[in-house]
Amino acid sequence: MSTVNIEFVLSDGSTVSLSGEEGETLLNLKFKYPELANLEFACEGAIACTTCHVIVDEPHFPMTGGISDDENDMLDLAYGLSKTSRLGCQVRLTQQLEGAVFTIPRKNRS
């Protein structure tokens, strides 16, 4: 598998560069990088909360894959919803996401 380098804009406005293996979700990265403490993943990827809500930079958003009806329903509850919002537990790293920027909203709610 290949490494994918991405960047996060944290809820305090600071940025951090991270890398993960192709196929990993952002949920997997949470366990490797303490800098992602603001991403709670309270439902552990069951698509039952919005604590892992991220905003994907516009150029990379189409490369995050399709959004299921369940994810779409949960995103309706997300604070700070944008047209490029995703649940981090549903985003799998691919080479197309190399250099993608994910922003953690200032507030998340379950």
What's phi and psi for 74, nearest 5 deg?
-70, -40
Q: What is the pLDDT of residue 57?
A: 98
Residues 83, 109: contact at Cβ < 8 Å? no
Q: Model pTM? A: 0.92
Looking at the domain assignment, is residue 43 inside a domain?
A: yes
Q: Under DSSP, is residue 58 helix (H, G, I), strand (E, B) or coil?
A: coil
Domain count, the chain: 1
Looking at the domain assignment, is residue 79 inside a domain?
A: yes
Looking at the domain assignment, is residue 30 inside a domain?
A: yes
CATH number of the domain bearing residue 32: 3.10.20.30
Q: How many helices (H) and strands (E) does the chain have?
A: 2, 5
Looking at the domain assignment, is residue 69 inside a domain?
A: yes
Looking at the domain assignment, is residue 31 inside a domain?
A: yes
- The one-letter code for the residue type at 80 is G
Looking at the domain assignment, is residue 78 inside a domain?
A: yes
* Structural domain range at position 38: 3-103
| Average pLDDT of the residues in 8-30 | 94
Looking at the domain assignment, is residue 108 inside a domain?
A: no
Looking at the domain assignment, is residue 110 inside a domain?
A: no
pLDDT at 46 over 90: yes
- Residue 1's pLDDT band, with cuts at 50, 70 and 90, is confident
